[in-house]
Structure 1
Amino acid sequence: MSFEGLRVLYLTASSYGDLRVGEEVRRVRAGVRAALHRDAVTIEHLPAATLGDLLDGLTRVVPQVVSFSGHADEGFLEFETGADRRGGGHLLAAEVFAQAMQAVDEPPQLVVLNACKSQAHLQELVRVVPLAVGMTDSIGDAAALTFAARFYASLTDGQSVLASYRLAKVQMAGSSSSAADADLPVLAHDPVVDPSAVRLVLPHPS
């Protein structure tokens, strides 16, 4: 049986080099490779991502899922500047990030913000995309890695967005290094969308 392809744009940024975003992507890729429908999922990873990388990724990859891992707070996501030296990043306002999702002809179906205090961005995002995940408070590296790896593996197994989210939270709760952060992930959605009915890896129509 063939499956519709799922394209994931995976943006990581750590201008100070203090986040394990490379390890996160490695674990996500490993989880996807071991999953049931691994051949249906393509991950386009853009490390040290800038605003330009985000826009290029949206128009060239045309992803169904956009994932951002890096620093954030209630108002901004911190992208990189493209400078030669480590230092402060480029603070992209939540509303501008949401505008980028809406600007393309084919907006993503799901946005995942694996970043501290990113729940504050979700209300803006679900005005322009059906589903979005964020964190209610600061999240540790171990918990962020654990959540991402299980979430994407579950999507690739054909689970719904809601089930994948719940399974990732269970994985966090059952891990000694992540249990304290297990309540941080939040799934938001457009009121007309049922996340239990949204499966991003589906059999190809015959």
Structure 2
Amino acid sequence: MNEVKILFLAANPSNSDRLALDEEAREITSKIRSSDYYNFLVFKTRWAVRPDDLLQALNEERPQIVHFSGHGGGKVGLVFHDDSKKSTLIAGSALKLLFQTLKDNICVVLLNACYSQEQAQKIVEVIDCVVGMKSSVLDEASIKFAASFYRALGFGRSVKNAFEQGLVAIALANLDEEEIPILLTRDGVDPDKIYFIGENRGQTRYSLDNGSQETITSNTSTPRVVTLSNREVAEHLEDAQQQLDQMDMVSGDHFLTNDLPKIMKKVRSRFSNVSLVMVDIDELTIINKVFKEMVGDQILSTIINILKKNSETEFIGRCGDDTYYIFLPGINIVEAKEVADNLRLVIQNYEWRTIANNLKVTCSFGVSEIHDKEPVRDWIVRATCGMIFAKESGRNRVVFGPNYLSAQQSRILRHYFSGSSSTDYPDG
């Protein structure tokens, strides 16, 4: 599980009423430390924040959650420091532009400032979840709310549940201000299905036109890189066979089925290392349901462009509906894993929202390096098994295929491709 970074931005200029910002930061830190997943919540603070400090902090930290604590002025904006330590205002439209430009992985913005609902309404146009305040709010209430909100996230609760726990904390303290905080969400986003840590981490639920709902899991954790055992590959062998049998190259391209085995006869004499990466788009069927097939088509074309731009090889193509191959002559398996890791990150961090609001896309990767005298079909199956296992074990990760197929598994493949399948994989 990756760390989740909270960026706490504090501003209390000398010509504004004093706020207990230090107490707020201390209380948030204390509540996070008392939660189950405290090791995964990183709390970063910036004090006396000026407008340009926002750009610097967001560039440096790249947080998932941005928290502003200070004064709000309603329609005129939030209060920040100027260079002379006095007040300056930033309007909601400027804040929207800021987050549109530097949103990176930001999913939640919490504006713990009086009359900040106006700014929240602007920011939520580009950020999934934004918390603002409808009116003035007491220091004690704002501190209770914020600390309880982050504690709930630290226990693996959803954004909606964390927000509600913040309201309950205000009510339990008899402060009579639990109606002031407001949670806004972008169209189609359900905050009750957004988790930062815990068993449900990375899930977002979307509402479909017919009233039903679909959940897309966007796993943005560090990929687990494993090598499949022969027992595990045996479990996935049939799936790999079926998937390979369905790989009909688009535009008449039969690189894997026809060209690659022929090329390998020449390549093996020139390169001591040759690797293969198989790539599959995660949850594309659900994405097509949620965002329609036109968006799916744009995803397919974008993925192939990313692969071609970042792989440094001409042997890249699409096979099947949502699967791609990357043939890497002269590259060993460790280097191929680095290529796959880089592609995984580029795809994960691509600005998919330029195609559709709330769109997030990841891919799963299988990697294998061909061995001396190994049949080409076995090599392809090993990479495909890794790809399938990557999807089944969480998606958005890189998995090494098994080191070898057993003699029995190889014989099964030989029989499969020469008999029950119309696809022929010569040994090469």
> Structure 1 105/23 Cα, relative in aligned 2: closer, same or farther at 3 Å?
closer
Shift of 1:78: 0.4
Shift of 1:82: 3.7
CA contact (8 A) 1:4 1:202 kept: no
Q: 2:276 matched to which residue of 1?
A: none
Shift of 1:45: 0.2
> Structure 1 169/58 Cα, relative in aligned 2: closer, same or farther at 3 Å?
same
Q: Is 1:198 the counterpart of 2:199 in the alignment?
A: no
Give me the whole-angstrom Cα distance separating, in 2, the residues matched to 1:6 and 1:50: 24
CA contact (8 A) 1:11 1:67 kept: yes
Question: What amino acid sits opposite 1:79 in the alignment?
Answer: F
SS in 2 for 1:180: coil
CA contact (8 A) 1:107 1:129 kept: no
Q: 1:151 matched to which residue of 2?
A: 149
- Residues 33-112 of structure 1 correspond to what in structure 2 (within 5 A)? 33-75=33-75, 76-83=77-84, 88-104=86-102, 106-112=104-110
RMSD after superposition: 1.5
Q: 2:183 matched to which residue of 1?
A: 187
> Structure 1 4/147 Cα, relative in aligned 2: closer, same or farther at 3 Å?
same
Give me the whole-angstrom Cα distance separating, in 1, the residues matched to 2:78 and 2:144: 21
Shift of 1:202: 3.8
Shift of 1:19: 0.4
Q: 1:125 matched to which residue of 2?
A: 123
Q: Which is greater in Rg?
A: 2
Give me the whole-angstrom Cα distance separating, in 2, the residues matched to 1:28 and 1:105: 23
After the TM superposition, which segments of 4 or more aligned residues of structure 1 sit over 2 Å from their partners?
A: 202-206
Question: What amino acid sits opposite 1:188 in the alignment?
Answer: L
SS in 2 for 1:181: coil
Shift of 1:50: 1.1
CA contact (8 A) 2:66 2:108 kept: yes
Give me the whole-angstrom Cα distance separating, in 1, the residues matched to 2:105 and 2:154: 20
Shift of 1:105: 6.0
SS in 2 for 1:186: strand
SS in 2 for 1:170: helix
TM-score by length of 1: 0.92
Question: What amino acid sits opposite 2:96 in the alignment?
Answer: A
Shift of 1:122: 2.0
SS in 2 for 1:112: strand
Aligned residues: 199
* 1:138 paired residue among 128, 136, 139: 136
Q: Percent identity?
A: 29
Q: 2:27 matched to which residue of 1?
A: 27
SS in 2 for 1:192: coil
Q: Which consecutive unaligned segments of at least 5 residues does structure 2 have?
A: 200-220, 225-428
Cα deviation code 1:60-97 (max 9, x no counterpart)? 100110000000022200011242x5xx3111111111
CA contact (8 A) 1:10 1:43 kept: yes
Q: Which consecutive unaligned segments of at least 5 residues does structure 1 have?
A: none
Shift of 1:107: 4.9
Give me the whole-angstrom Cα distance separating, in 2, the residues matched to 1:31 and 1:197: 22
Give me the whole-angstrom Cα distance separating, in 1, the residues matched to 2:73 and 2:176: 20
Q: Which has the higher contact order (CA 8 A, sep 6+)?
A: 1
SS in 1 for 2:74: coil
SS in 1 for 2:164: helix
Shift of 1:184: 0.4
